[in-house]
Amino acid sequence: MAASKLANVLFVVNPISGDIEKGSVNETIQEFCLQNRINFAFFETTGENDLANLKAILKQESYQAVFSVGGDGTSHLVGSALIHSSTPMGIIPMGSGNGLSKDLGIPQELDDALGILLQNQVKAIDTLSVNNEICVHLTDLGFNALVVKKFSEGEKRGATSYAFVAMQEYLSYEPKLFTIETDNGNFKGRAFMVTITNANAFGSNATINPSGIIDDGKFEICIIEPFPKTSGLQILYRLYNDSIEASDYSRLISCRQAEIYNTEQDVSQVDGEPMDLGEKITIKLLPKSLHLLIPKQMQASEDEY
């Protein structure tokens, strides 16, 4: 369904995401809204009770849309607040990776992303329940989750810092044991990393699930099995030219529900946020459970909401 210009919007701002000073971002958003006669409000995250506080605000005030101003973690927060509701989420990508916004074709520059407030489409996407935690983009276990954890513990933000952490951890990381049971196939063995998603790429633009479709009623478990350290560059090359599925070390299971036994309690993350998911991880598909604002021109090849 095409949406007209938005008239009343809430912006959820993560002040520490990415490497961009959010004061100037807020000023730009405010100026844009005033120029276009859009009523607006800001909610700034603090890291304490953000979801409960955001839900309370949404009960008190009705907004046409709620925009995530940050990275995938901020989109996770807003998506968790809006799940199963008719209020759409918009994204102003201001994080280190911004994977979900890239998969949806949302402009990465602030001025261009703000244009979605004037011209947009509403698209319903599938999300995942991961041990009852909402996942709007991807969850993973293993190497990438470890990098996400180490990165979150550091003081520096941005893609360069993330890549530096990945290089530091790569040589010493040892694959862990996983048992995966799904409605469409099983896996048991060691893995370098296990990614659960119905989207395509990490925020770094590495494509872990080239054939993933975000609203097709299924999700993928993407497994990278142990490989010689000397094959690392080849794996990296395949991730960045959309051909990881052709690798001898790659396995993919497309399914609608799954249980993963993280036998060695390896590190896990959901939408860019480190989380302890425990040894048994239950994943369920939530079909068309979140409405998103996307650029209008994309809708020609998509089903309309």
- Give the CATH number, domain containing residue 205: 2.60.200.40
- Across 123-127, 208-212, 299-303, least confident range: 299-303
Positions of E strands within the chain: 2-3, 8-13, 39-44, 65-70, 89-93, 120-130, 133-135, 138-142, 176-182, 185-191, 193-197, 219-224, 250-255, 257-262, 268-270, 273-274, 280-294
Structure-model confidence comparison of residues 249 and 21, the more confident one: 249
* pLDDT, averaged across the chain: 90
- Bin 70: left if φ > 0, else alpha if -120 < ψ < 50, else beta: left
Percentage of residues in the chain having pLDDT higher than 90:
76
The packing angle between helices 50-60 and 72-82, to 10°, is 50
Contacts of 121 (CB under 8 A, 6+ apart): 1, 2, 3, 293, 294, 295, 296, 298, 299, 302, 304, 305
Mean pLDDT of 256-283: 94
Structure-model confidence comparison of residues 158 and 258, the more confident one: 258
Note the helical H segments in 154-259. Answer: 159-170, 232-240
Do 118 and 140 fall into the same domain?
Answer: no
210 closest CA partner among 252, 182, 181, 166: 252
Do 106 and 146 fall into the same domain?
Answer: no
State the pLDDT confidence band at 302, using cuts at 50, 70 and 90. Answer: very low
Do 79 and 110 fall into the same domain?
Answer: yes
pLDDT at 134 over 90: yes
8-35 per-position pLDDT tens digit: 999 999 886 655 555 689 999 999 999 9
81 closest CA partner among 138, 40, 43: 43
Residue 296 near residue 90 (C-beta atoms within 8 A): no
Do 141 and 112 fall into the same domain?
Answer: no
Do 148 and 280 fall into the same domain?
Answer: yes
pLDDT at 305 over 80: no
Do 201 and 253 fall into the same domain?
Answer: yes
Mean pLDDT of 206-230: 95
Q: DSSP letter string over 114-177? A: HGGGTSEEEEEEEEEEETTEEESSEEEEEHHHHHHHHHHHSS--SHHHHHHHHHHHHTT---EE
Do 90 and 139 fall into the same domain?
Answer: no
26-74 per-position pLDDT tens digit: 999 999 999 999 999 999 999 899 999 999 999 999 999 999 999 999 9
Instruction: Give CA–CA dist 301/246, Å, rounded.
Output: 27
Instruction: Give CA–CA dist 249/251, Å, rounded.
Output: 7
Do 55 and 70 fall into the same domain?
Answer: yes
What is the reported pLDDT for 300? Answer: 42
Do 160 and 241 fall into the same domain?
Answer: yes
One-letter amino acid identity for 75?
Answer: S
Residues in the chain, how many?
305
What is the reported pLDDT for 158? Answer: 63
**In angstroms, what CA-CA distances link 255 with 50, 128, 186, 188?**
32, 12, 10, 16
Do 100 and 227 fall into the same domain?
Answer: no
Residue 116 near residue 104 (C-beta atoms within 8 A): no
- Give the CATH number, domain containing residue 82: 3.40.50.10330
Do 156 and 277 fall into the same domain?
Answer: yes
Residue 55 near residue 48 (C-beta atoms within 8 A): no
Spell 289-304 as b/e; 16+ CB within 10 A means b. bbbbbbbeeebeeeee
Look at the chain and report how many structural domains it folds into. 2
Q: Rounded to the nearest 5 degrees, what angle is found at the Cα of 86, between the Cα atoms of 83 and 87?
A: 80
Show the domain range for 35: 2-125+290-301
Do 277 and 141 fall into the same domain?
Answer: yes
Contacts of 191 (CB under 8 A, 6+ apart): 141, 142, 175, 176, 178, 223, 224, 225, 226
